[in-house]
Amino acid sequence: MTLTMINMLLTMIIVNIMMMLNMYISKKMTMDREKNSPFECGFDPTSSSRIPFSLKFFMIAVIFLIFDIEIALMLPLMPTMNLSEMMYWSISSLMFITMLIIGLYHEWNQGALNWSK
C-alpha cells in the first residue's frame, strides 16, 4: 500500500517538474508581425481576416445538428417495432416525437428559427 502511494507521489512530482520545465522552455520570446498576420497563398490579404461571425448562422447549424442527431435516434424505431409489444412501442415513439415537437416549438418561440431579424 505504501509502495503504491510512494510511486504515485513520485510520478506526480516528476510530471509537475516536466510540465514546469516545458512551460519555461517553450515560452515565446518575440511577437513577430509576420507570424501574427493571416496568410493567403503568399499575397497580402485584401480585407480584414477578423470579420464578425454571424451568430444566426451558428444557431441554425446547431439546431440542424440537434435535429439530425434526433433523426439518427429515431432510425432504430422501425426495426424494433416487430420485436416489441405494440402498445409500449407506440407510447415510447409518441413520447420521443412529442419531445422533438416541444423542442422545435421552444426554438421557434425563442426566435432562433427567424433568419430575417
| Residues 115 and 60 sit within 8 Å (Cβ to Cβ) | yes
- Rounded CA gap, 99 and 101, in Å? 5
Per DSSP, the residues of the chain read -HHHHHHHHHHHHHHHHHHHHHHHHS------HHHHS--BTTBPPSS-S-PPPPHHHHHHHHHHHHHHHHHHHHGGGTTTTTTS-HHHHHHHHHHHHHHHHHHHHHHHHHTTT-TT-
Q: Which value, in Å, is the radius of gyration of the alpha carbons in the chain?
A: 27
Kindly report the pTM of this predicted structure: 0.46
pLDDT higher than 60, residue 56 = yes
Confidence of residue 59 (pLDDT cuts 50, 70, 90): confident
pLDDT higher than 80, residue 44 = no
pLDDT in tens, 79-102: 888 888 889 888 988 998 898 889
Largest Cα span, the chain: 69
pLDDT higher than 90, residue 15 = yes
Q: What confidence score (pLDDT) does residue 5 get?
A: 92
